[in-house]
Amino acid sequence: MPSQHNSRSLLLRCRGNPQRASAASQRRGKMEEKNVEADGESGAEDALVGNVNKLTVSPPGYSGAPRKGHLVFDACFESGNLGRVDYINDFEFDLFIRPDTCNPRFRVWFNFTVENVRETQRVIFNIVNFSKTKSLYRDGMSPVVKSTSRPKWQRLPPKNVYYYRCPDHRRNYVMSFAFCFDREDDVYQFAYCYPYTYSRLQHYLASLERKHLPYLRREQLGLSVGKLAARKIP
């Protein structure tokens, strides 16, 4: 992955941009209106339904075919999670993650792809609705990234990751990270940490069953909300 030099100054310039302040003010007004209609304390951000599906994010007022650099976000795949993307400016985007199925107040996991990038395009992604007050991101952990031509997960440099409480988003905790795309034809994938999908688990359990080990037996315990089988191996 490319070097992330000057990402800190980019992030600071972005936060001090008057256009961002204006946009944030508009977002707060819209969110306050939505919160009046939303049920419970969690508010409109938690009412996200479904993941983004090949969502092209273009500058406001732009019409026509997407250009290189108009990022396309997708989370419609196994273990994906990204419910909404707000354009702030050409190099900054606010991302909203969807809550857990059985606990609408718990919002931590994210996993999404980005494509249609421009070479050397620098961006800042703000995941703006984390629910945890404490996070390992404060202690040096960083998100992971891979791309089409580099399929092995790598951690972002911790110096490019910031975890803080933000008054622009109802004092939710925000994780911001800076990144520089370096290959226009690649699809990039970002995640909270290394994904371990249900399918991968099933493949692993099936490989154990094929060994016909005398001390191994696989049983179904029940079904999840999504009708996936929960199994144990005594």
State the first-to-last Cα distance of the chain, in angstroms, to the nearest integer: 42
| Residue 124, pLDDT above cutoff 90 | yes
Q: pLDDT of 176-187, one tens digit each?
A: 999 999 999 999
Task: Dump pLDDT digits (tens) for 26-52.
Answer: 444 343 333 323 333 344 454 677 899
Contacts of 90 (CB under 8 A, 6+ apart): 59, 69
Cβ-Cβ contacts under 8 Å for 133 (sequence gap 6 or more): 173
Statement: residue 101 has pLDDT above 80: no
For the chain, list the domains and their CATH numbers.
Answer: 55-191 (2.60.40.3120), 198-232 (no CATH)
- Distance between CA atoms of 26 and 44, rounded to whole angstroms? 15
pLDDT digits (tens, 9 = 90+) for 54-100: 999 999 999 999 999 999 999 999 999 999 999 999 999 999 999 98
The pLDDT score that the predictor gives to residue 91 is 93
**Which range (6-20, 85-99, 110-124, 138-152) has the least confidence?**
6-20
- pLDDT at residue 8 greater than cutoff 90: no
pLDDT band of 211, cuts 50, 70, 90: very high
pLDDT-above-90 percentage for the chain: 56
Q: What is the pLDDT of residue 108?
A: 92
Find the mean pLDDT for residues 99-119: 91
Asked whether the predicted pLDDT for residue 143 surpasses 50, the reply is yes
Contact (CB, 8 A) for 154 and 144: yes
Q: What average pLDDT does range 90-113 have in this prediction?
A: 91
- Burial class from Cβ neighbours inside 10 Å (0-12, 13-18, 19+) for residue 51 reads buried
Comparing 165 with 148, the larger pLDDT belongs to: 148
